[in-house]
Structure 1
């Protein structure tokens, strides 16, 4: 390792040591040491990079040399039981075939219809609880079959998946030590509940499984196994897909609704059906709500150009950058919500940045989120239908704040964010 790279002494990451605000801790280390520095935490070594060249080098890393997949797995396994990963035959990366996405959006429409029936004509609801439940309903219908979104199954699965939520690994990293000490007892019990419900759905509705659907392909992947192995395997495939796919999307939708409630003129354009504007609002809210630590675990030694220094990074290290320290600060005005800065899914004035890769909502290049087209379509549909049906006002004072301990993913709100709604 190049001895010109400073080590941020006394800095640890929040899943290893007590840190009130992990993003602020890394920001303070950057203030002291510049755009390239090392954090040693929990026996692991992290090379942080924030310069334009460093961020470009980060996005250029080949997966087989420095792996996002391994980094994501190591993050999630702090929260999730090992058995949810072992032996999976259908993985989250296979979710977004075009014909599948069409069916997911059909399920979103059905989920919105059910949501409207629950909400009624007027009331008050926490915006993030609303979007989280919507995500459960849409997602479970999409990869566990429509019967999983029936009222009896849905209620049990919502409780189980809220307990199993893998995003806690980065939203509440300070809780990971206690979870490890418990042997993940709560999570294992929740996973058993998921398996029990999905097995019941399969036994009752086996003949109605559509073979061309994602759920049908999950079921087919376990054909020929003994019943106990087959049913549990199917249920665990569904569980991993669900915990890996929904929570960040629905948090982003929550922030988009928060921002639109605070900007009534923009909300009126969305409610009137301006899909392009809704898409821009979704991108802007996602950009501003990012708390993501973007990481790659180094599998083979790599020479990394960080701009101010070239670093020989050994295998076993992690190379990271932190979106909230870039997305809102690398150019004037980025600290303000302004959907007009987007053209389609790109920043309209990206050439004005030192590098266009310094600002992102869904990543860049080969490391772009594969769910981006679906996510933007889903957010646009949900925003348009919700705001087209209801007049909505906020029940908070001051713009909601993120969970301070969070370091990763789209922000979760630190406290309830009620909205008051009345049928238009």
Structure 2
């Protein structure tokens, strides 16, 4: 865990290209500790990778998936380690920013804590802190999903490159090599899709009596042409199920343990934008107080 967290920070500060050993420069090896961190990670993963190679038919996890798809030099222990580090790099900052976006809404609207507390207490008393219990925390799930809707990690998602020329039914022609994206922010704030789309409605997706959210359609892991925070289609984020459980547990723990409000009772801190990327405000301050029953 320590290696993954520090790797994410160091790569962001330095040149992200060093995660690809084909472009690692001589200077980078001496100006950053990332190569040493990679070597440390190889020592940890090498015996696991060797064990996977001996027993691939009985394995079903991220590492085994990467190994099954690897070809040529991609099968080396170093390159498999780099892929694991890259996957973790992509997961850490995205989950962190998603949680902070939701945290700012909670600090701005502490009145939403009590409905979530009631739900969490009822479910945990019945199920304990189990996977089944987390699945039944519909208000917690909806709170995070609504935050995602208004604060997708970027205004453009699902970047694609056309491998072949395509003509759509309406006559739109996409030449080979065209770069395309889905306008997530515009889609998520479309009043033809969402009622009062610019209003934060924390339990918008929690009402399972509504047809569009019946069953598991309202869950944050459910992708659709109307909700693309995790992408959509066959290449939707495969880690969204783990991320959803992680985020819901974090929010549930915070709600049950602390009272929270914004410093100075100001409104929700404005987001920061870097090109097409939406980042939670880095200078915002919130106040936490241990909850007293």
Q: Are positions 1:195 and 2:38 aligned together?
A: yes
Q: Is the 8 A contact 1:280 1:345 kept in 2?
A: no
Q: CA deviation at 1:399?
A: 1.6
Q: Is the 8 A contact 1:261 1:394 kept in 2?
A: yes
Q: CA deviation at 1:395?
A: 2.3
- Give distance in 2, aligned partners of 1:319 and 1:368: 16
Aligned-residue CA RMSD in angstroms? 4.1
Please show how residues 221-260 of structure 1 align to structure 2 within 5 Å: 232-260=78-106
C-alpha change, 1:232 and 1:401, in structure 2 (3 Å) is same
Q: Is the 8 A contact 2:8 2:92 kept in 1?
A: no
Q: Is the 8 A contact 1:157 1:197 kept in 2?
A: no
Q: Which residue of 2 aligns with 1:284?
A: 146
Q: Which residue of 2 aligns with 1:316?
A: 177
C-alpha change, 1:214 and 1:373, in structure 2 (3 Å) is closer
C-alpha change, 1:406 and 1:413, in structure 2 (3 Å) is farther
Give TM-score scaled by structure 1 length.
0.47
Q: CA deviation at 1:218?
A: 8.6
Q: Deviations over 1:19-70 (max 9, x none)?
A: xxxxxxxxxxxxxxxxxxxxxxxxxxxxxxxxxxxxxxxxxxxxxxxxxxxx
Select the residue among 98, 105, 116 that pairs with 1:270.
116
Q: CA deviation at 1:321?
A: 2.8
C-alpha change, 1:346 and 1:319, in structure 2 (3 Å) is farther
Q: Secondary structure at the match of 2:101?
A: helix
Q: Which residue of 1 aligns with 2:156?
A: 293
Q: Which residue of 1 aligns with 2:197?
A: 334
Q: Is the 8 A contact 1:157 1:193 kept in 2?
A: no
Q: CA deviation at 1:247?
A: 2.1
Please show how residues 52-91 of structure 1 align to structure 2 within 5 Å: none
- Give distance in 2, aligned partners of 1:213 and 1:417: 41
Q: Secondary structure at the match of 2:230?
A: coil
C-alpha change, 1:360 and 1:286, in structure 2 (3 Å) is same
Structure 1 gap segments, 5+ residues each: 1-148, 170-179, 222-228, 351-355
C-alpha change, 1:400 and 1:197, in structure 2 (3 Å) is farther
- Give distance in 2, aligned partners of 1:234 and 1:259: 39
Q: CA deviation at 1:281?
A: 0.5
Q: Deviations over 1:282-317 (max 9, x none)?
A: 110111101241322000010034x5xx22211111
Q: Which residue of 2 aligns with 1:402?
A: 271
Select the residue among 160, 166, 180 that pairs with 1:302.
166
Structure 2 gap segments, 5+ residues each: 17-22, 69-74, 124-136, 214-223
- Give distance in 2, aligned partners of 1:384 and 1:234: 35
How many residues align structurally?
Answer: 240
C-alpha change, 1:190 and 1:213, in structure 2 (3 Å) is farther
- Give distance in 1, aligned partners of 2:286 and 2:212: 34
Moved beyond 4 Å, runs of 4+: 182-186, 209-221, 343-350
Q: Which residue of 2 aligns with 1:423?
A: 290
Higher RCO (Cα < 8 Å, 6 or more apart): 1
Give TM-score scaled by structure 2 length.
0.65
- Give distance in 2, aligned partners of 1:158 and 1:288: 27
C-alpha change, 1:327 and 1:315, in structure 2 (3 Å) is same
Q: Is the 8 A contact 2:269 2:284 kept in 1?
A: yes
Q: Secondary structure at the match of 1:385?
A: helix
Q: Secondary structure at the match of 1:268?
A: helix
Q: Secondary structure at the match of 1:246?
A: helix
- Give distance in 2, aligned partners of 1:389 and 1:265: 15
Q: Is the 8 A contact 1:199 1:231 kept in 2?
A: yes
